[in-house]
Chain A
């Protein structure tokens, strides 16, 4: 518990926390407002313009906007979470702070798992706050597009929202775990972040050619676990082929646990030098 609390304190003062969150929310708000403001634009020919306007309006129309905002957060947010996880784990090696803790008699596995638990907690806060901001942005976007927000209070959607947020958090945590593990194996922030981004886009790219394999991969299962019914998040290859939500959720857990097991085994055996 001491380590977990310490992890929260460290992350809450870490610039990477605010930069990651700020980027996600900034992009989200910018896109939603831009979509709302241009939904009724008259640019383009008739058919295209109508299609684009319909898609834009769908993004900010409630109650569907709830799912689409969550999909955005788990899609692009998943990439950011992976970078965040890699940055935190990598810096423990790069800065030598893991070394200091181990030299004090701390268990390597316990230390790293507590660090990851702290990351998961911060992600939970981040998902909830980002979702709140996204909904506000969607409301503003709807007004800009001249749409009604009467669907905001849709009881069926609202009652399922906590469970969907929980699933979204779980999926993002799995993606963070992947970054955490890659950076642990690489023992480096930059290498971890670079490899993680390559993995993310590599999976997205591979989904074009190997959809039946890629649908089992971590970013795809994370997107499929939400089963939003929308056209998927940003990247991750979810749109190409996806598993049923329940099955995907189980695989999210498998990837999460697998990542942490690999981290633990590697950390326990690693020689901490430099």
Chain B
């Protein structure tokens, strides 16, 4: 993506309660399985909202309900300040969506696909197609058939398609899928720019690191219910972590040494072989941890601190296997400890 092109012309819209998107008691069953079990979301306008949850938690079902692909069994949805019910399809004229994988006619070019898609839903001026192609960085390949596109290019085209109607509310399901690092950075910048212009960007993802650097707000869903929602900074301020690397044979001694500044349950051996130990403390106490260890003759070979969305996520969703689709059971056991790798995978941290 080439970044924001300035092609956006209209700002967001919010309801009387100040929300761009709200669901109340949203329910959906597939047979015996409850996909959504009274979901309450409150998405303010002009933010990037990260919608997180383990596999099978109900993220995609939520997206499908919001885009009219499936019908909810109960609950209400308010979109851009107005109730959105079954049959209110025109409410979606102000919404752009990428649900699951991007879908196109493989025998048509990227440009032709956008042109034909623009024939449905809200009317789109033809120049808008060129704008979104430019935004997605696809101008050079716009006349190639989509069947020759890479996964990342299809994803870019999918995001371009979602932006076709210059939507006030953008619903994106795993938009980073298949994008290369540069594409992810450009997408992130684009979404942030959209939010800064008053649009509301609702992004479903399981890439916690990506959400952590992009979202203003997050909602975490598990088993079809919202388990936490709020501004990201606020949530993370309660979820500090200091990771320290010591010699593996000194791990026990390090825990003992640090016990006076952190209760025993605040320790997690993230990688015993590598000697990484996570201490659940405010990120600004990293120096204190280092000093305490050094005072006992244990010298850290690595120190990281930050606010870890991954830990918050695992804590709120019950760690492994909380989703409806099951999960891998790590070699370190089913308690989720092995989920933390040696580095600050999702940490907004600093390394020493």
Contact = CB atoms under 8 A, between A and B. Distances in A.
Contacts of A272: 64, 69-70
B120 interface: yes
Contacts of A5: 119
Interface stretch (B85-93, B206-214, B223-231, B252-260): B85-93
Contacts of A231: none
A199 interface: no
A103 interface: yes
Interface string B60-94: 00001001111100000000000000000111110
Given A99-B103, A103-B99, A273 B119 contact: no
Nearest to A95: B103
A interface residue count range (under 10 / 10 to 19 / 20 to 34 / 35 or more):
20 to 34
Closest 9 CB pairs of A and B: A96-B103, A104-B121, A105-B92, A6-B119, A106-B120, A101-B120, A103-B67, A272-B69, A105-B121
Contacts of A247: none
Most buried by B among A10, A97, A105, A106: A105
Contacts of B67: 102-103
A101 to B, nearest CB: 4
Contacts of B64: 271-273
Given A6-B119, A103-B68, A104-B121, A97 B107 contact: no
A105 B90 contact: yes
B103 A97 contact: yes
A271 B68 CA distance: 9
A9 B116 contact: yes
B235 interface: no
B119 A96 contact: no
B126 to A, nearest CB: 12
Contact of B71 (A13, A99, A101, A271): A271
A10 B113 CA distance: 9
A241 interface: no
A111 interface: yes
Contacts, number: 88
Nearest to B171: A103
Contacts of B95: 105
Contacts of A229: none
A100 interface: yes
Contact of A101 (B91, B108, B117): B117
A10 B112 CA distance: 9
A43 to B, nearest CB: 45
A14 B70 CA distance: 29
A117 to B, nearest CB: 13
A97 B104 contact: yes
Contacts of B115: 6, 9
Contact of A13 (B92, B108, B161): B108
A273 B116 contact: no
Nearest to A105: B92
Contacts of A160: none
A106 B165 CA distance: 13
A3 interface: yes
A9 B68 CA distance: 26
B97 interface: yes
B106 interface: yes
Nearest to A14: B107
B8 interface: no
Given A9-B116, A13-B112, A104-B117, A95 B105 contact: yes
B167 to A, nearest CB: 9
A102 B106 contact: no
A189 B174 CA distance: 27
A273 B100 CA distance: 9
A105 B103 contact: no
27 contacts: A2-B119, A3-B119, A6-B116, A9-B116, A14-B105, A95-B104, A95-B105, A95-B106, A96-B100, A96-B103, A97-B103, A97-B104, A100-B104, A101-B117, A102-B69, A104-B97, A104-B120, A105-B90, A105-B91, A105-B93, A107-B89, A111-B120, A271-B69, A271-B70, A272-B64, A272-B70, A274-B100
A46 interface: no
B97 A15 contact: no
Most buried by B among A3, A10, A14, A95: A10
B101 interface: yes
Contacts of A103: 67-69, 92, 97, 99
Contacts of A14: 105, 107
A116 B294 CA distance: 76
Interface string A87-119: 000000001110111111111000100000000
A10 B108 CA distance: 8
